[in-house]
Structure 1
């Protein structure tokens, strides 16, 4: 089971790359461009809509897209504003470093908090 399904009960969107970047999935038009510009980057959902947990969902999707991270089921992703919050357990510091790197690349992520993560 992937990150997005395990944490949020959602299937991967049709265009996952746009979802991770936080851009609308459909071709831009005046209405969607205006609507997207008014949504803070950390609140953009998987399909370009407003979503209170948009950043966390897009980070989960980015983890799903990385084969090194797709089978870790002891870690959870949350958000506080633009901060990605990782909670739980990871097998190694290298995996945690990779997760931090991937999370930082998601549009809207301003920081990654890992003080609730244990290694082992």
Structure 2
């Protein structure tokens, strides 16, 4: 007899608590809700939304500060607010200056160096 009562309890339908239900109409959100602020890492060179905006602004900043010849040997991309720096640098001291310049661009939070080669020529001593 106890088994039949136990099976009735297990098989009993579960009634949801209707007081816990919420609909979108009770949240009182405006119907014309839009996001107007562009995240800083997505602001393009022209100020409009650009998925790779941070990387493009970093390239422009580096060209202005270090020249086009240096930047053409680099590949700059982004992952969110992280700027990824790849390529060849002629000088090891230049890497620190580049990273400081990258971090000065609005939206850059961190610099990640991947496959960055330093082709510094050391003086020959005899």
Report the TM range for the smaller structure's normalisation: 0.5 to 0.7
Q: Distance in 2 between matches of 1:117 and 1:69?
A: 18
Give unmatched runs, 5+ long, in structure 2. Answer: 1-34, 120-126
In terms of Rg, which structure is larger? Answer: 2
> When the two structures are superposed, what TM-score results if normalisation uses the length of structure 2?
0.62
1:92 is matched with 91
1:59 is matched with 58
2:8 is matched with none
- Residues matched between the structures, number: 84
CA offset digits 1:5-52 (Å, max 9, x no partner): xxxxxxxxxxxxxxxxxxxxxxxxxxxxx83xx111000001110000
| 2:62 is the counterpart of 1:49 | no
Structure number with the bigger relative contact order (C-alpha 8 A, sep ≥ 6) is 1
Give unmatched runs, 5+ long, in structure 1. Answer: 1-33
Superposed CA RMSD in Å reads 1.4
2:68 to 67, 70, 85: 70
Q: Distance in 2 between matches of 1:116 and 1:51?
A: 26
Describe the SS at the equivalent of 2:116. Answer: strand
